A and B are shown apart, each in its own frame.
Chain A
Amino acid sequence: MPDELDNKIEAKADTITDAGSVTSGSTAGIDYVPAHERPDQELYHSHSWWTTYVFSQDAKYIGIQYAFTAIGTGLIGLVLSWMMRLQLAFPGLGILEPSTYYQFITMHGMIMVIYLLTALFLGGFGNLLIPLMCGARDMAFPYLNMVSYWVFLLAVIILLASFFVPGGPTGAGWTLYPPQSITSGTPGSSMGIVLMLISLCVFVAGFTMGGLNYIITMLQSRARGMTLMRLPLTCWGIFTATVLALLAFPALLVGCIMLTLDSLLGTSFFMPTMISMGEKLSYDGGNPLLFQHLFWFFGHPEVYIIALPAFGIISDLISVHARKNIFGYRMMVWAIVGIGALSFFVWAHHMYVSGMSPWFGYFFATTTLIIAVPTAIKVYNWVLTLWRANIHLTLPMLFALAFIVTFVNGGLTGIFLGNVTVDVPLSDTYFVVAHFHMVMGIAPLLVVFGAIYHWFPLITGRMLHEGMGKIHFWITFLGSYAIYFPMHYQGFVGVPRRYFEIYDSPYITTSTLHLNVFITIAALIVGAAQLIFLFNLIYSARAGEKAEKNPWKANSLEWQTPEMPPGHGNFGKELPVVYRWAYDFNVPGADKDYIPQTVPPSQVSGAKVEKT
């Protein structure tokens, strides 16, 4: 049998050589490819402690800076959600004023979506992984990359400063809809909202600098032999998400600039003729719907800016920890690109109740259902990758499995809400809260955790503690279901969202009041479990078990660096040369169950991949 196989392969190799036209410069037998055909990247070498660790131009450090800042901000968002949950469960205690509740809702939403998840996936994982996975020494423009982080930090500081200005932060909801966001009566309508808008503009500016780096590094600085289709799916996810971000964030920028002018100068871009507190305001003729369109033209791609890197990372985690090549790699790439393209044509499904024409709504309902197709393909491919795979129930794998379940869950309720007729009665209830927290909150966070457990050894050279990790996983996974499953029910019963207090209304069943207490307790426990995770990070970084090189036996380039954690310039003297894709797991005929991307064919002569 093996002989037969070898014969077949030899025959194949012959046809290729005979065809001749496949390549011009190489023959079928060529094995060694020289590394330096083009000059190596000029690398910035730091000379002082400050330029090494603080004003660092090394993408790895910048990634870690991004991650710390994002997670730190995210913890503030977490505390805000605790306060809101306490208020909802025990309204009698009077924990929050109505206005404070709205301010916390707004800040929680904005922090989690933009300053935590976007910054962590693109700024954190993007910086850390792109150069390493592509086989580059650093980003294309390291200086710009450094500036990008500091501008992001500035945006965070401006955002948090709004807690301390007179009137407090804005309480307009994270969508910041005018006219109410800048009309008196809304919390933070004077200074809070302006700081929020400025912070967003600064964020967009900083992100554009970073995004430029991510895509150009991936396009132009890859190692020799690394074609686009040999990139790990993580890179594809981050790449497509960055393209989306570069095209979608301008909409947010435009909306924010014009709203700032409405607020500060009194122009009427968005502000209609209106009477407030019995007085006619000076505004005239503006169109608030225009802001909604601009916001959601950014806002929907934003969902995929977070989801696509998550999709990519999860594909790699599943493949590595199930010791099997990803099922349908090409289809996965097509799905990522397809979702990216479609995501610009679904934005108005966030606006079914804004009073737009129902026909317009049907168009967007259709596109919304179409985008479910590539998304479902991805889920099928993950499941098929797991099918008959050598599944190792490591922590990253546990988080990956939890992600698939949670994402399907949130995705299914998304199909409900994508239909106009179902959305209209449900859109102001907790069903929506449950839906987007499942699909956009819990699911990406599970990926973040899985990714941190996976790549922690690469960053620190030590493993995270397994036992603490398991406790963290089970509390987070089961706990988040305890929080969000009941919310679906509350939504069906008709509990309205955005209310700071579900008082003793005859329309609200007592069961929802009990559920509110239950949800709050679950939320407190899940939130507290994150402290275990933080402790694990600190403890393991100092005293964790030392990781061997390439502890997960992965194929992609980030694990093939000469030292771990990778040093300055990532790859030592010579850049790596890539001979295969990142998914050669359990190749028939190979002596190990994985073949790293840098292994030339001659070293694994027995290993052959079936032709498809």
Chain B
Amino acid sequence: MKKEQSIFQILSQKPWESSQAIVDNDHDGKTFGKSKAKLGVKTIMAVSTVIFSLFIVAYSDRMQVHDWISMPEPWLLWVNTAVLIMNSYFFHNTKIAADRKDNIKIRNGLYTVGILAYAFLLGQLIVWYQLMKLGYFATSNVANAFFYLLTTIHGLHLLGGLYFWGRATSKFLKGNYKTSNMQHTIELCAIYWHFLLIVWLVLFGLMLFT
């Protein structure tokens, strides 16, 4: 039977009819041909998208009040953005290496990815430190508060990703894994990293242009 049906096709089935029953008896009980973990990551990404969208809505609403003073963007933020782009790029490469089962490249890739992600987080903290030294505190203007808030939430998402990266890496180093599982884990981590890059680009763009 056809695997992917549109939601309207599914909703218009008449499960009580004998003709439909014959089709249905053949159904294997899965709605999508994807793994549970992949659907899980996609659901998490959907929820995070809603969270960030609502923050952006709040940002755009609050921006219109007279007391809004735009913040400068330190040059280090550009560096951090570049680090995150490289991070995504290397994750993509690691994923390709995993598909080819090239263990040395996978190991190097996982290391690089982790180092870059921590470098990004460190860079963000340095940006915070610089801004605070210049007197841009969260309380002094709401634009600053939004900056700290959005970077924190984004950073926490990255830390969550790093938790799963850490689990995958330690499993890989111990050699205690099935190749197909490892490929899948790396693929999912890569998807999540790309997602966080897009979120960061949107947030950075938002703060850059306002």
**Chain A contacts to B: CB under 8 angstroms:** 9, 12-13, 16, 22-26, 28, 30, 33, 37-38, 134-135, 140-141, 208, 212, 215-216, 219-230, 246-247, 250-251, 253-254, 257-258, 261, 265-269, 282, 284-287, 290, 294, 297, 325, 329-330, 333-334, 337, 577-581, 583-584, 601, 608-609, 611-612
Interface string of B189-201 (1 = CB under 8 A from A): 0000000000000
Whether the Cβ atoms of B32 and A219 lie closer than 8 Å is yes
Whether the Cβ atoms of A219 and B31 lie closer than 8 Å is yes
In the bound assembly, the distance between CA atoms of A265 and B132 in angstroms comes to 14
In the bound assembly, the distance between CA atoms of A284 and B47 in angstroms comes to 31
Whether the Cβ atoms of A220 and B32 lie closer than 8 Å is yes
Chain A minimum-CB-distance residue to B29? A222
Whether the Cβ atoms of B29 and A223 lie closer than 8 Å is yes
In the bound assembly, the distance between CA atoms of A9 and B1 in angstroms comes to 23
Interface string of B19-52 (1 = CB under 8 A from A): 1011111111111101010011001101100110
Whether the Cβ atoms of A16 and B24 lie closer than 8 Å is no
Residues of A within 8 A of B62 (CB): 269, 286-287, 290
Q: List 28 contacting pairs A-B, 8 Å CB cutoff, sorted by A.
A: A16-B18, A23-B1, A23-B22, A23-B23, A26-B26, A33-B25, A215-B43, A216-B43, A222-B29, A224-B27, A226-B29, A227-B15, A246-B47, A247-B47, A250-B50, A250-B51, A254-B54, A254-B58, A265-B138, A267-B142, A287-B62, A287-B65, A294-B54, A297-B54, A337-B11, A579-B21, A583-B16, A611-B17
Chain B minimum-CB-distance residue to A249? B47
List the count of A-B residue pairs having beta carbons below 8 Å apart.
Answer: 180
Whether the Cβ atoms of A30 and B25 lie closer than 8 Å is yes
Query: Is B12 located at the chain interface by the 8 A CB criterion?
Result: yes
Between A141, A269, A290, A608, the greatest number of chain B beta carbons within 10 A of the residue's beta carbon is seen for A269
**Chain B contacts to A: CB under 8 angstroms:** 1, 10-19, 21-32, 34, 36, 39-40, 43-44, 46-47, 50-51, 54-55, 58, 61-62, 65-68, 138-139, 142, 145, 149, 153
In the bound assembly, the distance between CA atoms of A397 and B51 in angstroms comes to 41
Residues of B within 8 A of A222 (CB): 29-31
Chain B minimum-CB-distance residue to A254? B54
Whether the Cβ atoms of B47 and A225 lie closer than 8 Å is no
Chain B minimum-CB-distance residue to A587? B16
Whether the Cβ atoms of A330 and B40 lie closer than 8 Å is no
Least CB distance from A51 to B in Å reads 20
Least CB distance from B21 to A in Å reads 6
Chain A minimum-CB-distance residue to B67? A285
Whether the Cβ atoms of A228 and B31 lie closer than 8 Å is yes
Chain B minimum-CB-distance residue to A577? B25
In the bound assembly, the distance between CA atoms of A330 and B8 in angstroms comes to 11
Least CB distance from A267 to B in Å reads 4
Least CB distance from A535 to B in Å reads 41
In the bound assembly, the distance between CA atoms of A268 and B68 in angstroms comes to 11
In the bound assembly, the distance between CA atoms of A251 and B23 in angstroms comes to 41
Whether the Cβ atoms of B28 and A38 lie closer than 8 Å is yes
- Indicate whether A609 sits within 8 Å of B145 (C-beta atoms), given known contacts A26-B25, A38-B28, A258-B58: no
Whether the Cβ atoms of A601 and B12 lie closer than 8 Å is no
In the bound assembly, the distance between CA atoms of A330 and B65 in angstroms comes to 49
Residues of B within 8 A of A215 (CB): 43
Residues of A within 8 A of B68 (CB): 285
- Indicate whether A330 sits within 8 Å of B22 (C-beta atoms), given known contacts A221-B29, A222-B30: no
Q: Which 5 A-B pairs have the closest CB atoms?
A: A222-B29, A285-B67, A267-B145, A581-B15, A250-B51
Residues of B within 8 A of A290 (CB): 58, 61-62
Whether the Cβ atoms of B1 and A612 lie closer than 8 Å is no
Residues of A within 8 A of B34 (CB): 220
Residues of B within 8 A of A284 (CB): 67, 142
Whether the Cβ atoms of B67 and A254 lie closer than 8 Å is no
- Indicate whether A16 sits within 8 Å of B29 (C-beta atoms), given known contacts A254-B54, A330-B14: no
Whether the Cβ atoms of B21 and A601 lie closer than 8 Å is yes
In the bound assembly, the distance between CA atoms of A246 and B46 in angstroms comes to 9
- Indicate whether A250 sits within 8 Å of B43 (C-beta atoms), given known contacts A286-B142, A608-B18, A609-B17: no
- Indicate whether A220 sits within 8 Å of B65 (C-beta atoms), given known contacts A267-B138, A609-B18: no
Residues of A within 8 A of B40 (CB): 140-141, 212, 216
In the bound assembly, the distance between CA atoms of A158 and B75 in angstroms comes to 41
Residues of A within 8 A of B149 (CB): 257-258, 261
In the bound assembly, the distance between CA atoms of A208 and B27 in angstroms comes to 29
Which single member of A16, A140, A325 contacts B19 (CB below 8 Å)? A16
Whether the Cβ atoms of A227 and B36 lie closer than 8 Å is no
Chain B minimum-CB-distance residue to A600? B25
Whether the Cβ atoms of B36 and A225 lie closer than 8 Å is no
